[in-house]
Amino acid sequence: MTAPTFTLLDQDGKEHTLAEYGGKWVLLYFYPKDDTPGCTIEACTIRDQFKDFTKIGAEVLGVSTDSVASHKKFAEKFELPFTLLADVNKEVVGMYGVSKRTSFLIAPEGKVAKVYENVKPAEHAAEVIADLKALTDKS
């Protein structure tokens, strides 16, 4: 399946399109709400293992229906080094058919390589990094 393309604003109000990440691996992770227990655990474990994502050459995009301002507070409070996208109109959530904590690993050519459903926040980053290493042969 080809990943549906979109344009959303990040925590600084800057526009991002999925197309601009063409040629790179992308973890597109959908989470319910900024600064709630599970979402904070998930974001912080990705933050703590972010160097492993960058070493592989992968981008991380977090998406929720919270506002740009909410994302900015969340990113600053927990020093998140990756992009948070505000899907306030639930367009992208709808395109991807997401109703709960779900992630999509998108390959450089724009195809969905793996879907993670019912994500466990504390284990998710390590699980995705292991899959990226297997898919890219970068151990």
Q: What is the pLDDT of residues 9-41, one digit of tens each?
A: 999 999 999 999 999 999 999 999 999 999 999
Whether 49 is covered by a domain: the verdict is yes
Q: Is 47 helix (H, G, I), strand (E, B) or coil?
A: helix
CATH of the domain at 88: 3.40.30.10
* Radius of gyration, alpha carbons of the chain: 14
What is the number of structural domains in the chain? 1
Would you say residue 125 has pLDDT above 70? Answer: yes
Q: Which domain holds residue 76?
A: 22-134
**DSSP states of 18-31:** GGGGTTSEEEEEE-
pLDDT in tens, 82-109: 999 999 999 999 999 998 899 999 999 9
Whether 34 is covered by a domain: the verdict is yes
pTM for the whole thing? Answer: 0.95
Residue 39 designated active-site = yes
Length of the chain: 139
pLDDT in tens, 109-123: 999 999 999 999 999
Q: How many C-beta neighbours within 10 Å does residue 48 have? A: 11
Whether 55 is covered by a domain: the verdict is yes
The answer to whether the beta carbons of residues 53 and 34 sit under 8 Å apart is no
Q: Percent of the chain scored above 90 by pLDDT?
A: 96
**What is the rounded average pLDDT for all residues in the chain?**
96
Would you say residue 46 has pLDDT above 90? Answer: yes
Q: Percent of the chain scored above 70 by pLDDT?
A: 99
pLDDT given for residue 105 in this prediction: 98
Whether 47 is covered by a domain: the verdict is yes
Would you say residue 139 has pLDDT above 90? Answer: no
Whether 52 is covered by a domain: the verdict is yes
pLDDT given for residue 138 in this prediction: 55
Amino acid at 12: D
Q: How many C-beta neighbours within 10 Å does residue 102 have? A: 19
The answer to whether the beta carbons of residues 106 and 92 sit under 8 Å apart is no
The answer to whether the beta carbons of residues 50 and 42 sit under 8 Å apart is no
Whether 119 is covered by a domain: the verdict is yes
Q: Where are the alpha helices (DSSP H) in 12-105?
A: 37-48, 50-56, 68-77, 91-96
d(CA 19, CA 3): 10
Annotated catalytic residue within 3, 8, 39, 86: 39
